[in-house]
Amino acid sequence: MAYQHKNLAEGRWAAMSLSEQMANIGSEVSRALNWKRKNKDEYCLKAVDRALELVFLTIENVTITSHLKELTRLREVIIDYFYGTNEYASTEILWEKYFYHFNIVARKGKV
């Protein structure tokens, strides 16, 4: 697999906390939402692909079953929202709320 985040795939990603990983995934989802708002589908889908790549890297390194369930559901809902019919009725606001707390925890003590 050709990774877009090569340096992360080579081990740096596994060294991050789950909160940091989720905050990074949230950044890519946020980029995708911004491009979607601007009707720039190509850029939107590239950001979605990067987000899904990060979700995949996180799933590869997860050791706690409840985290695995959350991550596989996250992957499913991202795909549904951006590529599917939005069966789960996701909204931009819900995405922002979901990832907001991961950003707070990831930044805690780093500022």
51-81 pLDDT, tens digit each: 999 999 999 988 888 899 999 999 999 999 9
Confidence of residue 40 (pLDDT cuts 50, 70, 90): very high
Q: Which tokens is 21 given?
A: 């990983």
Q: How many angstroms separate the Cα of 99 from the Cα of each of 7, 10, 21, 39, 82?
A: 23, 25, 11, 22, 17
In which domain, by residue range, is 51 found? Answer: 18-107
Answer whether residue 37 shows pLDDT above 70. Answer: yes
Here the CATH number for the domain that contains residue 24 is 1.20.58
In a domain, 76, yes or no: yes
How many structural domains compose the chain? 1
In a domain, 43, yes or no: yes
Helical axes 65-83 vs 18-37, angle rounded to 10°: 10
Q: Which tokens is 53 given?
A: 């790549």
Q: Nearest CA to 32 among 49, 13, 57? A: 49
